Structure 1
Amino acid sequence: MNFFEHQAQAHKESKKLLFLFVLAVIAIVLAVNGTLALLWIWMKGQIGTGIYTYPRGFFFTNTAVTLLFIGGGMLFEMSRLKDGGDAVARMAGGRLVQPDSRDIQERRLLNIVEEMALAAGMACPRVYVMDEEDAINAFAAGYHQNEAVVAVTRGSLTRLSRDELQGVIAHEFSHILNGDMRMNIKLIGVLFGIQMLAGFGQHLMEWGARFGGSRSRDEKGPSIQLILFVFGLALFVIGYIGIFFGRLIKSAVSRQREFLADASAVQFTRNPDGIGGALRKIGGLTRSNQCGSRIKNPNAEQLSHMFLGAARPNLLSGLFATHPPLSERLQRLYGRNIELLDASELPPEMELDEHAVSMGFSAGDGANAGSSSTGLTVSPLGFHPEYGYQTAPASSANSLSDNATKLSPAKPSLAKPSPAKQAAPIATIPAELVHAARDPKAASALVYGLLLDRRDPASFEIQLAILRQALPQQCALVSLLHETLEKLAVSLHLPILDLATPALKLLDAEQRQQIMGISARLIAADQKVSQAEFVLQTILQRRLNPKSGRDVGVKYTGLVQLQAETALMISLMATTEFSAEHAPQAFVKASNSMPELHLQVAQFVARDQLDFFVVKQALDKFQQLAPLAKPFLIRLMLQASGNPLSADGADLLRSICAALDAPVPDVVSASYAERPQH
């Protein structure tokens, strides 16, 4: 099953979630009305009289207040989570790990995340550590992959080997790339609304116990103190209806995804003992504390559907469990019963070597290194010939076990296995650029360095003048970084930007806006927009714009509704890959691959007629395209590309994927690995 199919499935599951939510609300409203009716006749001394009278609008008021309570709770929580993954990570007690951290365990974690991001061709997620959690667990959160975060427990850092930690991170990257995160955040808000009655009832019980006072002897009925306590107890019990439905909702949408993420982790790392070893250690730790993935944070129940393992012991198994049984997950991974592992804390590693810090890997990484000097063993996601994207890359002959194909219960459609390619590793990027990419101020200078262009001396002088005026203290650093960047192949420019993304996101909104403004001025220095500038600007806007993390609704169901825009994108790709003489032929070839679009040769747009402002407007519309229609656009663009794919064509497709919040096709990732890096 590919990324876009998962997005479509998420829409279907949203309907299931909505149905279960409505059932939960109905059950809560009925329970509240029934409880308040009993309390009213008890307070009025009508029990046993057979005559029950209620004030006018009694049940309507109860229903309205309950609905407002639930709806208000949802809106409050969703507002609290407007920052996406960062808000969720803080809610779980996470601490942001600085991109330039020198702590050896944090450095190892950051290296793994960077490797995964570069291999997947996506922005490097921000990383959080839950310092108070000694168990083994992790989660990914965010509204889309351009602003995702990955959070791990302290126990994951101290108890897992590098391969095992890499398996855990690969599991979380699967959730990012399969579009699971948005649904998970929506669940947090929904569940808060229907479960908050229990918390409110608990507060009423406390108030009733502390305040209220008794009625005089002449007054009938119970005291205010007793009424508050009983009403609070009733709401607390009713609140468990919300918890019941919350568990049901979470189990309905999360358990099968865990199987798929386990499978993807194996295929992504090509190492079954990565995620397998982590799960075995969770089982081993469970023998001593009943739940090796237990989260102590008070928000654990609310966030339980997001974690790698069960955040709390499963009191209700089967239908109501938020995660599949650990034994079943291991059975699917190994195809047999396998013993659990000891999860004792690992001995401290050797101190980081100064060169290792600057290059991006720890001294201890070498022992577990795969086919690259940085320990990079991950592979880019594969491109599905029919739909667009595979869930994970093909395996190599000496990596996956025979049981790897049994991992996903849904038997997802995968392309025929092909040799996996690796993205450009961090080791091919000069140390000074890696160091700059991890520092917020230097990362912004790196962006400006990517936009400088010496090929036109007059425009270059204008660019330098802009920098001297806007950033007099950074101008020298920008020039220095630009000199280093000029020596690199163009294929490394976007990976460097991927690496710099976490540091750039540490800047406040005003500083990000400054970057976008200065970048626009540097691009406009020569009074035109080149394709390379368009690519960089598109990716920057998607990652740094304050509104980029918001959900975009579906307005167009297919490419037929965007015929002119589709022709424009195919023309852009064809003119990027071929000469003016052969580009129309590439356009026709791509058009013929999807005859239902009825594209005509007359709709071909020549290179000298292309306007990147119009292209940007087209991308804004493609963002509103239905999930299952997006891969057809990328497939059409690939049909119009050359073989092999050029560096400019690969960069263009990466920017299109960033704009559509889509994974990068394998053919694009492979093109970076195949070209020389210097």
Structure 2
Amino acid sequence: MKRILLFILTNLLVMITIGIILSVFGVSSYLNESGGIDFGSLLVFSAIVGFTGAFISLAMSRWMAKMMMKVQVLKPEDNLSYGERQVVDMVHRLSRAAGLTHMPEVGIYESNEVNAFATGPSKKRSLVAVSSGLLHELDENAVEAIIAHEVAHVANGDMVTMTLLQGVVNTFVVFLSRIAAWAVSRLVKEELAGLVHFIAVIVFQIAFSILGSLVVLAYSRHREFHADAGGAHLAGRDKMIHALRGLKAYQDRMQDSQQTAISTLQISGKKRSALFSTHPDLEERIRRLQAG
């Protein structure tokens, strides 16, 4: 969840920074001489700011994941242990089966949590990483299915699709926040209108970004079902169900723990309110696979 929130926060900070810079240099001239709004100019301005924020976050995603999670990248030519070599071989074998022509980077990060994630700016520059806890807690079949799930995320282009969605959400956030700020600035004295508009833009942008994040999180839950289906296709449905049951057993044991899964495109999420969850309930994911 923290990783999703960091992605959204990065978008927000980039949007605010770009908005301020463009305002300082007079680029954001969406207010016309009569004090009204040129909606065409505002929409173009909003799209520039919104999509720039999303694509900068996408470009930074693999680097941020490595830094945050302290991922040890495993290269095939390195002197790897048996377990590390097995993880690399699984990722490469499943990636070829998924039709990927460029193999993802493979990594392991030290954590007691049972999890894995995929991220990166494109299919050619992706990263699939697993936690040490996952390798210790689950058997080989479950690990294979979980890696297949993450490879399916890469093959489905979920990182780019999520970024495009975030760009659209950002555009509406920038657009609506400035309309709301303009309306508020009309309620104060003329000499204070500029300052009030500037502050109100930031406040409304934060508020609308929180609401917009619900759309992003809803898509995050939706894509998990597709990645489960992709993982079942690559590794086998029985293995995928077996892996999700293993995650459910782990989740039940850890439900009172303070540990939190923090990676975008991860296999498992901590239980929380459905609206603010990055992942559907594991029981529902298992049920859909069994019904499919």
TM-score by length of 2: 0.62
Displacement, 1:168? 0.6
Q: Distance in 2 between matches of 1:59 and 1:153?
A: 54
Q: Distance in 2 between matches of 1:276 and 1:109?
A: 20
Identity %: 25
Aligned to 1:276: 241
2:267 is the alignment partner of 1:308: yes
Contact 2:115/2:130 (<8 A) preserved = yes
Displacement, 1:195? 7.3
- 2:208 counterpart letter in structure 1: I
Displacement, 1:322? 3.7
Q: Distance in 2 between matches of 1:78 and 1:192?
A: 11
| Corresponding residue SS for 1:128 | strand
2:92 is the alignment partner of 1:114: yes
| Distance change >3 Å, CA 315–CA 143, structure 1 → 2 | same
Structure whose residues are more often helix by fraction: 2
Among 54, 79, 82, the residue aligned to 2:56: 79
Q: How does 1:18-417 map to 2 (within 5 A)?
A: 60=37, 71-72=48-49, 74-79=51-56, 81-82=58-59, 86-87=62-63, 89-90=65-66, 93=69, 95-99=71-75, 100-120=78-98, 122-131=101-110, 133-142=111-120, 144-187=122-165, 235-236=202-203, 239-251=206-218, 253-270=219-236, 272=238, 274-287=239-252, 288-289=254-255, 294-296=260-262, 303=264, 306-310=265-269, 313-317=271-275, 321-333=277-289, 403=290, 406-407=291-292
Displacement, 1:127? 1.4
Q: Distance in 1 between matches of 2:83 and 2:207?
A: 40
Q: Distance in 1 between matches of 2:87 and 2:257?
A: 23
- 2:225 counterpart letter in structure 1: F
Q: Distance in 2 between matches of 1:192 and 1:134?
A: 35
Contact 1:88/1:141 (<8 A) preserved = no
| Distance change >3 Å, CA 314–CA 58, structure 1 → 2 | farther
Q: Distance in 2 between matches of 1:192 and 1:291?
A: 34
Displacement, 1:328? 0.8
Displacement, 1:143? 5.2
Contact 2:58/2:121 (<8 A) preserved = no
Displacement, 1:120? 4.3
Stretch of structure 1 that moved more, 323-332 or 150-159: 150-159
Q: Distance in 1 between matches of 2:36 and 2:69?
A: 41
Contact 1:174/1:265 (<8 A) preserved = yes
Contact 1:127/1:151 (<8 A) preserved = yes
Displacement, 1:329? 1.0
- Offset from partner CA, 1:526-559 (integer Å, 9 cap, x none): xxxxxxxxxxxxxxxxxxxxxxxxxxxxxxxxxx
Contact 1:86/1:142 (<8 A) preserved = yes
- 1:82 counterpart letter in structure 2: A
| Corresponding residue SS for 2:74 | coil
Unaligned 5+ residue runs, structure 1?
Answer: 1-55, 197-220, 334-402, 408-678
| Corresponding residue SS for 2:59 | coil
Q: How many residues align?
A: 238
| Corresponding residue SS for 1:151 | strand
| Distance change >3 Å, CA 150–CA 102, structure 1 → 2 | same
Displacement, 1:70? 7.5
- 1:158 counterpart letter in structure 2: H
Q: Distance in 2 between matches of 1:332 and 1:292?
A: 29
Q: Which has the higher contact order (CA 8 A, sep 6+)?
A: 2
- 1:283 counterpart letter in structure 2: K
Displacement, 1:243? 2.0
- Offset from partner CA, 1:617-655 (integer Å, 9 cap, x none): xxxxxxxxxxxxxxxxxxxxxxxxxxxxxxxxxxxxxxx
| Distance change >3 Å, CA 88–CA 239, structure 1 → 2 | same
Displacement, 1:170? 0.8
Contact 1:134/1:153 (<8 A) preserved = yes
Displacement, 1:165? 1.1
| Distance change >3 Å, CA 194–CA 290, structure 1 → 2 | farther
TM-score by length of 1: 0.30
- Offset from partner CA, 1:325-354 (integer Å, 9 cap, x none): 211112233xxxxxxxxxxxxxxxxxxxxx
Structure with higher Rg: it is 1
CA-based RMSD = 4.2
| Distance change >3 Å, CA 78–CA 283, structure 1 → 2 | same
| Distance change >3 Å, CA 313–CA 236, structure 1 → 2 | farther
Displacement, 1:104? 4.9
- Offset from partner CA, 1:401-446 (integer Å, 9 cap, x none): xx4xx33xxxxxxxxxxxxxxxxxxxxxxxxxxxxxxxxxxxxxxx
Q: Distance in 2 between matches of 1:292 and 1:165?
A: 24
| Corresponding residue SS for 1:116 | helix
Q: How does 1:476-487 map to 2 (within 5 A)?
A: none
Q: Distance in 2 between matches of 1:194 and 1:129?
A: 38
- 1:124 counterpart letter in structure 2: M
